[in-house]
Amino acid sequence: MATTYISRTIGTATLATKGTFSFWVKLTSNSEMYVVGATQNSTNKAGIGFSNTTAGTLTIVQEDAGTETTVLRTTRLFRDYSAWYHIVVAFDTPQVTASDRVKLYVNGVQETLFATATYPSQSSTIEYLESGQEMVVGTKYGSSYGNYFNGLMSHVQFVDGLALAPTEFGEVDATSGIWKIKTGSYGTPGNNGFHLKMEDSSNMDLDSSSNGLTFTTTGTLTATKDNPSDNFNTLSPLYLQVASGTLSNGNTQMSFNADATWRNTYSSLNNSTGKYYFEMQVGNTNDTLVGVVGTLDWTNDTGTSAVSSTKATGYFMKQDGNLFNNNVSKSGGVSYTTGDVIGVALDLTNGAIWFSKDNVWVNSATISEIAAGTTTNAAYTGITTGVAYAYGACSEGKESSLQKFNFGNGYFASTAISSAGTNTSDIGLFEYDVPNGFTAWSTKGFQE
């Protein structure tokens, strides 16, 4: 959300001593960033988010008259950048036992281990229900305090007057055993309750609860297909050679500063079966390779100078048009420059990979033969199968590099695609046509 936030003024509470937050987030870094907050003034405020006191901890804090009356900070670290977390915080200050006055749940399971645990006094008012306060989504305490949320957010609910269990907002999938979202709004949200689904790209701050409250968005919210029901691939900061690299825009944009060496980045999700497609928009003309690499070849990278295209299971097309595998180059690709969109189709059934530039497949391949599994004109055939692959890119550090990826989110960084290609899987939104039988690299795509 960068420097963007959503806000409204709190009205008279249904019951100012009880309330429940439920929200789904996908993190992009371990920097300090808050999901929700409230403020009356500089000494009366509250926030729920991720702290850099110990990078990656989840923190619940409330300050009254300049004193921190509530501080819960987990010992657990939240550093999985490939998954959505479901967070529920239930306030119930009339409880006799202090530890029952604030309860934290992650993916349906209550957190009980805290590095810091200061609970509110019995029957005290929670800041989120102080009439006249500013309630914010996407920043700490309030709009004047920064620590903006930098990641993906979905289905932010607040219920005024009730302390609820996480099963009101999520449930265990009977088949997979994975905690999954309930997308409906809680039936009795109370006077200040709301439900921001953030699924309508034309009205991102729409309250879908029965209250229909009006919110104000400051800045610009960017929609994405990535959501708790369909987790999409992104670039992973855990496998970014960070000495000179930066990921942004929900970890779909990579940039490397010039440092006279090669730098890699890999994606957050990988799979050993299926047929997948993604796109990269070229940000500048410096040496870049884009393609895929088997996880057996990159999980032990030191993060210094290993080059993806030198891997036995690395299959890439370089900016000059050469193809690379196992440190061996060959002709057959096409050169690309700033603004070009490179498509990559990976077929782990027939062991082949194809590349396209601006909707034209290289090596005279056609989209129909790719869909049919005909590998005659593929960039590489006989690729190693039975190995989990991830998308990857690397750039030579002689000059800075900037590249933007669309894994089906419908955006190149913060810019929406200009046209929508056909996609028979109906999973993800791409600039150009996706070969039939191929799909986005996402959890629903894995099930195709």
Spell out the SS3 assignment of 177-199: CCEEECCCCCCCCCCCCEEECCC
More confident residue, 396 or 280: 280
Q: Is residue 410 part of a domain?
A: yes
Which pLDDT tens digit goes with each residue over 284-330?
A: 767 788 999 887 766 555 444 456 767 888 899 999 999 999 889 99
Q: Examine the domain organization and report whether 375 and 436 are in the same domain.
A: yes
Separation CA 110–CA 96 (nearest Å) = 19
CATH number of the domain where residue 90 is located: 2.60.120.200
Split into its structural domains, the chain has a count of: 2
- The three-state secondary structure class of 167 is helix
Query: From the centroid of its chain, how far is CA 88?
Result: 19
Residue 19 has pLDDT above 60, yes or no: yes
Q: Which of 139-153, 176-190, 221-235 has the lowest mean pLDDT?
A: 139-153
Sheet with 67-77, strands from edge to edge, namely 114-118, 67-77, 57-64, 44-51, 33-41, 134-137, 5-9, 216-218
| 228 occurs within a structural domain | no
Residue 203 three-state SS? coil
Position 175, amino acid: T
User: Which of 163, 188, 218 is a domain's end point?
Assistant: 218
The Cα 61–Cα 72 span in angstroms is: 7
pLDDT at 52: 65
Buried b or exposed e, range 348-370, using 16+ CB within 10 angstroms: bebbbbbbbbeeebbeebebebb
Name the residue with higher pLDDT: 2 or 181. 181
Residue 242: its pLDDT value, please? 52
Q: Are residues 345 and 433 in the same domain?
A: yes
Give bridge partners of residue 219 from the DSSP assignment. Answer: none
d(CA 272, CA 418): 31
Give the tokens for residue 52: 């850099």
What is the overall mean pLDDT for the chain? 89
In this structure, are 249 and 151 located in the same domain?
no
List the single range of 1-5, 122-126, 183-187, 191-195 with lowest mean pLDDT: 1-5
User: How far is the C-alpha of 336 from the C-alpha of 331, rounded, in Å?
Assistant: 14
Per-residue tokens: 36:
């929700």
Q: Are strands 102-106 and 85-92 parallel, antiparallel or unpaired?
A: antiparallel
406 and 329: one domain?
yes
Q: Are residues 358 and 212 in the same domain?
A: no
As a whole number, mean pLDDT of residues 229-245 equals 79
Q: How far is CA 342 from CA 47, 270, 288, 351, in A?
A: 42, 20, 12, 20
Q: What is the mean pLDDT of residues 216-228?
A: 91
Tell me how crowded residue 412 is: count the other CB atoms within 10 A of its CB: 24
Q: Is residue 433 predicted with pLDDT exceeding 90? A: yes
pLDDT value at residue 341: 96
Largest interatomic CA distance in the chain: 74
- Which residue, among 101, 95, 96, 41, has the nearest Cα to 70 in the 3D structure? 101
Taking the C-alpha atoms of residue 55 and residue 32, their distance in angstroms, rounded to an integer, is: 7
DSSP-derived letter for residue 199 is -
First-last CA distance in the chain: 31
Residues 287 and 422 both lie in one domain: yes
Position 143 scores a pLDDT of: 60
Looking at residue 367, what is its pLDDT? 97
Q: Residue 340 belongs to a domain with what CATH number? A: 2.60.120.920
Note the pLDDT of residue 302. 46
The region of weakest confidence among 184-193, 197-206, 304-313 is 304-313
For the cut 70, the answer to whether the pLDDT of residue 11 exceeds it is yes
- Whether residues 161 and 190 share a domain: the answer is yes
Q: Which of 168, 191, 218 delimits the end of a domain?
A: 218
Q: What are phi and psi of 379, to 5 degrees?
A: -65, -40
Domain extent at residue 399: 237-446
249 and 214, same domain (yes or no): no
Classify 134 as helix, strand or coil. Answer: strand
Q: What is the pLDDT of residues 349-384, one digit of tens each?
A: 999 999 999 999 999 999 999 999 999 999 999 998
Average pLDDT for 263-276: 88
Q: Are both 164 and 72 inside the same structural domain?
A: yes
Q: 278 and 160: one domain?
A: no
Whether residue 191 is found in the same domain as residue 241? no
Q: Is residue 226 part of a domain?
A: no
Residue 35 pLDDT exceeds 90: yes
CA atoms of 188 and 194, how far apart (whole Å): 10
Q: Is the pLDDT of residue 197 over 90?
A: yes
DSSP strand pairing (401-406 vs 275-282)? antiparallel
Specify the pLDDT at position 258: 65
Question: Are the C-beta atoms of residues 315 and 325 closer than 8 Å to each other?
Answer: yes
- If asked whether residues 257 and 367 sit together in one domain, one would say yes
Separation CA 440–CA 444 (nearest Å): 8
Q: What number is the average pLDDT over the span 224-231?
A: 94
